[in-house]
Amino acid sequence: MQLYNTLSAKERAELIEQAGKERLTISFYKYAKIENPEIFRDHLFLSWDKLDVLGRIYVAHEGINAQLSVPADNFNLFKDHLDTISFLENVRLNIAIEHDNFSFLKLKVKVRDKIVADGLNDDTFDVTNKGIHVEAEQFNQLIDDPNVVLVDMRNHYESEIGHFKNAVTPDVDTFRESLDIIESDLKEHKEDKKLVMYCTGGIRCEKASAYYKHKGFKNVYQLEGGIINYVRQVEAQGLENKFIGKNFVFDERRSERISDDVIAHCHQCGEPADLHTNCANEACHLLFIQCESCKEKMENCCSTPCQEIIHLSFEEQKALRKGQGNSNDIFKKGRADHLPHKKDLRNIFEVFKKTE
């Protein structure tokens, strides 16, 4: 029974290019009780591998979180298979705004403790007691209300390139960091303010809304389907788009253009830019924002030392990496000290408090 990829990412990319067929990039999630995640994982891999599905899927006792790519020709077969799984029947599928046939190059179905790393003890509160889900039209009305605090539940490197107007954007590296910070900074407004949250596809808000209700917030709302679903509804219904910039996504595309606004800056030269790149030095691989000019000048590297390393032979580069584990510095997402124009740290509720 084959439960692994037999082709490398490069070989898969070549096959996709040769096929010349459109692929759809899709994401979905569902909180549900899964008794045996290992068996469920095996079932998904065997079923989806036959349909040429590629992507990154996490399953846990609490549910499933999936980001994937499927050939457009196989979409109906894929949907039919989802409908055979009781808790996934008619699940909302967030279809990408901008498609890229190479958004995923392998099928990875992994068992995790949680489908999103939130650091919470779910036994201490009712995870089903969620906030009020709102669609795009009601969301637009809510965030115009002066009695609303709009909070971006994503990480700083996501909101840096795009966010909703007047949103509070936590300056955090991980979702778990933001939970206590937001609760602490808004503790005086648990009853008199409406807490409205949004994220990429809705999954982070799903758990956060139940957590904040448990913490005593009386009026908790979340954007149904996240930014991806919001943009589709705005276009279909002719609503005002209140999202500025780009939506960060967790695949090879890295982002989707939502508005023409470029709200971020190159971390190397400071010029307007909103395209993330990973440093070409495999021992670094830092994610940061780089303009086209710096990309050409620095050869996709974040620093001169990294640029020098990529010109060494493969064996020399491998020797330099030997014995060095991946430190947390690699995943600072653009906070590295050698980037002169990295995003400034600040109190995440500074703007909100000034307007009280």
Residue-wise pLDDT for 39-72, tens only, equals: 999 999 999 999 999 999 999 999 999 999 999 9
**Spatial CA neighbour of 102 closest among 203, 4, 18, 161:** 18
Residue 208 and residue 187 in contact, taking contact as beta carbons nearer than 8 Å: no
Residue 264 and residue 253 in contact, taking contact as beta carbons nearer than 8 Å: no
How many CB atoms are closer than 10 A to CB 10?
8
How many CB atoms are closer than 10 A to CB 311?
9
Beta strands in the chain (DSSP E): 23-31, 54-60, 63-71, 94-95, 107-111, 132-134, 148-152, 162-164, 194-198, 220-223, 243-248, 255-257, 276-278, 287-289
Distance (Å, rounded) from C-alpha 245 to C-alpha 247? 7
Q: Sheet containing 54-60: which strands, arranged edge to edge?
A: 94-95, 23-31, 63-71, 54-60, 107-111
Q: What is the pLDDT of residues 88-113, one digit of tens each?
A: 999 999 998 877 888 899 999 999 99
**Spatial CA neighbour of 166 closest among 140, 191, 189:** 140
Q: Which of 199, 266, 301, 302 is catalytic?
A: 199
pLDDT at 6: 66
Q: What is the pLDDT of residues 192-240, one digit of tens each?
A: 999 999 999 999 999 999 999 999 999 999 999 999 999 999 999 999 9
% of the chain residues with pLDDT over 70: 91
How many CB atoms are closer than 10 A to CB 160?
25
User: How is the chain split into domains, by residue range?
Assistant: 9-111, 123-149+169-231, 276-331
Residue 214 and residue 238 in contact, taking contact as beta carbons nearer than 8 Å: no
CA 130 from chain centre, in angstroms, equals: 21
End-to-end CA distance of the chain: 61
pLDDT category, 271, cuts 50, 70, 90? very high
pLDDT category, 355, cuts 50, 70, 90? very low
Annotation: CATH topology of 123-149+169-231: Oxidized Rhodanese; domain 1 (3.40.250)
**For tokens 């070409």, what's the residue?**
280
199 is a catalytic site residue: yes
Q: Which of 170-179, 297-306, 345-354 has the lowest mean pLDDT?
A: 345-354
Greater confidence (148 vs 17) lies with 148
CB burial of 116-128 (b: ≥16 within 10 Å; e: otherwise) equals bebebeeeebebe
Distance (Å, rounded) from C-alpha 256 to C-alpha 161? 10
Given this chain, do its domains 9-111 and 123-149+169-231 carry the same CATH topology? no
Residue 54 and residue 97 in contact, taking contact as beta carbons nearer than 8 Å: no
Q: Sheet containing 148-152: which strands, arranged edge to edge?
A: 132-134, 220-223, 194-198, 148-152
Identify the helix (H) or strand (E) that includes residue 117.
none
Distance (Å, rounded) from C-alpha 171 to C-alpha 158? 10
In the chain, the amino acid numbered 162 is G
Domain 9-111 in CATH 1.10.565.10? The answer is no
Distance (Å, rounded) from C-alpha 12 to C-alpha 16? 6
Six-digit token pair at 246? 């780009």
